[in-house]
Structure 1
Amino acid sequence: MSDVSVETGTYEAKMGDYFALLKPRVMSLVIFTALVGMLVAPVPVHPFVGFVAILCIAVGAGASGALNMWWDADIDAKMKRTVGRPIPSGRVQPGEALGIGLALSGFSVVLLALATNFFAAGLLAFTIFFYAVIYSMWLKRSTPQNIVIGGAAGAFPPMVGWAVATGGASIESVLMFALIFMWTPPHFWSLALFVKTDYGDAGVPMLNVTHGTRSTRNHILVYTFLLAPVAIGLGFTSIGGPIYLATAVVMNAWFLKGAYKVWKRDDADAEADKFKAERAVFKTSLYYLFAHFVALLVEGILRTTGAGGVA
């Protein structure tokens, strides 16, 4: 069956097109970090309540993605990396994306409040607002620090997960937030170095566009250095332990080594080998975050089973 209406010549959106609006890749990271935040908390959560909570957080993340795609449709159409998204490709209409984003936002926040507590629901609502309004509508197009400040949106999920269990915040949840917050700039700036024409063509004031690649390389190294003590420090809290500390030391050494390689290079070096070091740091950053949260989860399981961890 054709996806194009014979009568109108318009494309008929499929379920997959609407699902793509929710940014499933980003959603998977949100689900994972929120789940870890909830499971490592000192207060146990009933499995059914936990399932509903993670579902709400996932839907809230998807709502943020839909609202972001609605607002950014014009610049998405100018970038090779995003031109195939549902709105610029014509598969979903902007009004549909806006309606889906608003509906899912309300649904996720209200259901989370009813299933868990108002603090967790309020934090989820603020996360959606921060990503859709503060980051997408304001920071992204107005300042090269868009990724630095806007990174808070992606850092809130483990705090929400922790709040589901405890009804509040703590040094542990704040440090999980800080880990993702400090990780975000070097993660995205390393990507920006090898997709620089995309951001420039779209008029997005990414650091490499406004201040040049040398400044971007400097910032990547500085933020990677600042990230290390945050990541390692988390290991000395109640949710840390020897497995997490070993993971943090190894991963931060690996990340710093890659950032140093990127810092030493110039544009000629990067273009000569097709941004090999920059691509490697971006790839490392993905392993980096996953490894830290897996280690936290392992420590949590060991504590629950009485097999180890920090008391």
Structure 2
Amino acid sequence: MEAHDHTHTHGHANDGGRGGQKNIRTAFFLNLTFTLVEIVGGMATNSVAILSDAVHDLGDSLSLGIAWFLGRYGDKAPDRKFSYGYARFSLLGALVNSLVLVAGSAFVLSRAVPRIFHPQEVHAAGMMALAVLGILVNGLAAFQLNKGTSFNEKVVLWHLLEDVLGWVAILVAGLVLLFVDIPVLDPLLSLGITLYVLYHVGINLKQILHILLQGVPAHFSLEAVEEEIGKVPGVLSVHHVHLWSLEGEKAMLSAHVVVADGSGIREMGRIKGEIRKRMDGQGIGHVTIEVDFESEECGNRDCR
């Protein structure tokens, strides 16, 4: 006899409702508009540092746009095509964003590296003017998102704060170039910004692939989860435990628990209820439990 329990206490991340989407939408249009200004300004001032930051801002604009769209689309209820829902579409967006940033960064490096060996004059005053504008625009977008509490808003907020710091660096470089003729400073700054962006893109790609390959979420320990389930009174042993995430926020768990022969429906219901309670306390909202009796063999070949 086998008893199955499919618990759907989904812990959907609260995207802040309409207010959260409005904050992201406002930040998106601010960031995208200024990215276009950056591209034109970078060419006008002959600054690859500004162009490298424009590429970074373009990636942030894509992130904001996808976060805005998927904030509604990703919460669609499960259907016949996607039985787990549409939450994992956000990972697709993150993957696209990362690849766009890698391609854009490669383009910037192709422009910046030759200039280290053959520096070109830049328009320092223009760099400073764009830097001040960049600090104001990104600061305003960050302030707008600081009002929100959703996961999307918090993640994008950190991107915008990084942009503010990048523009502060460009402002300082422009100020130095205004008084000292060190044209190599611009490509060196561009190189630093681009490598910094690529470093974080690499970290994001690693996390995205870990989730897509159904790895155990980084903030969970499979051994600790198995131990916690094993502490439930009436559970003789636990095996075939799988823990993964749909998109980095919603943790999913499936497990086989072994109970004594003759355990009744009420006893099994109590055991499953206690497991659900303990897992919910650890942030695991979707739990699937299969109950096996002590004398029966597990039906899965890979039970362990």
TM-score normalised over the length of structure 1: 0.30
Choose between structure 1 and 2 for higher RCO, CA contacts under 8 A separated by at least 6 residues.
2
Pick the structure with more strand per residue.
Answer: 2
Considering only CA atoms, is the larger Rg found in Structure 1 or Structure 2? 2
TM-score normalised over the length of structure 2: 0.31
